[in-house]
Amino acid sequence: MISVRVPATSANLGPGFDAVGLALSLSMRISLDRAPEPFVEVFGVGADLIPATPEHPAYRAAKFVAEFIGEPDVSFHLIQENSIPPARGLGGSAAALVGGAVAANDLLGRAMAPEDLLNLVCDLDGHPDNAAPALLGGLIIGTLTPEGIKSVRLEPEDLGAAVVVPDFTVSTSAARHALPELVPHKDAVFNVGRSGLLLGALATGRYDLLGVAMQDRLHQPYRAHLIPGLEEVISTALEHGAYGSCLSGSGPTVLAFTPPEKTDRVAAAMREAFTGRGTEAKAWALEVDLAGARVEPPGEVAARLPEPVA
């Protein structure tokens, strides 16, 4: 059986809408072996929300890999051990896709080239902002083109990531439907300028610019009604020393970049901002995951959810 550890991801990062994603030090493990017929087991965080059937995203990705390399009739025994809260804007579905694809490719002889594997998982997920950093680790700026994904990978240093996960879900469909078909030209200009500043700040270590660079007018204002307290949580993060803060993906998780020595404090303050409004939440002090998806040795300890910040 092949086991693959895959990190959670945070997409958008403010104005980097559907183009920028970051791997975080939460993870899941996908284990895969050949089997006479499909068999899927799911354990860990949110197991009741994840299909234990061949419709599981990791199983579907494994089958796509098998078809790509000429074994369309193979069946798998798949085990997911999960520490990524599902339906919270932390890229759990993309991580599962990546885990299934990487495990199947390794199990079936590594017939897919890395570039083909990257294009496959990004196509399956629909865009690269979660799938690419889950596969490659670090910070990925990328876009899908007719010729495949075009991307740049960065490795931000000395950067903490506080995340607060409120105890409710936001469906991706609802979050997408909240967005207008047309936006004011001035708002598009606002985001374009901040997107450039965001990438420059992360590439050069000018994290002091993130407070401005992570501002957004194209998705957070339209989704704020789905996450009561969003603006307060973001402002609380900044008041307690975060460089910048934003909605993670489509939410409801909120992310803040911090100096490493302040990550615990910022995470706790963000949690208190939610609980002060009567919303239960958990918060974690995380790091940037630079490894991405990696095949683990047999017998490796299962992925565990880090202890939440009090």
Judge whether 85 is annotated as a binding position.
yes
**86 is known to lie in a ligand binding site:** yes
Tally Cβ neighbours within 10 Å of residue 282: 18
Question: 87 a known binding residue?
Answer: yes
93 is in an annotated binding site: yes
Annotated binding-site residue? 154:
no
Is 88 annotated in some ligand binding site?
A: yes
DSSP for the chain?
A: -EEEEEEEEEEETTTEEEEEEEEEEEEEEEEEEEESS-EEEEEETTGGGS--STTSHHHHHHHHHHHHTT-TT-EEEEEEEE-S-TTSSS-HHHHHHHHHHHHHHHHTTS-S-HHHHHHHHHHHHSSHHHHHHHHH-SEEEEEEETTEEEEEEE---S-EEEEEEESS---HHHHHHTS-S---HHHHHHHHHHHHHHHHHHHHT-GGGHHHHT--SSSHHHHGGGSTTHHHHHHHHHHTT-SEEEE-TTSS-EEEEE-GGGHHHHHHHHHHHHHTTT--EEEEEEEB--S-SEEEPTTPPPP-PPPPP-
Confirm whether residue 75 is marked as ligand binding.
Answer: no
297 is in an annotated binding site: no
CA distance linking residue 18 with residue 34, whole number of Å: 35
Annotation: binding site = 85-95
Annotation: binding site for ATP = 85-95
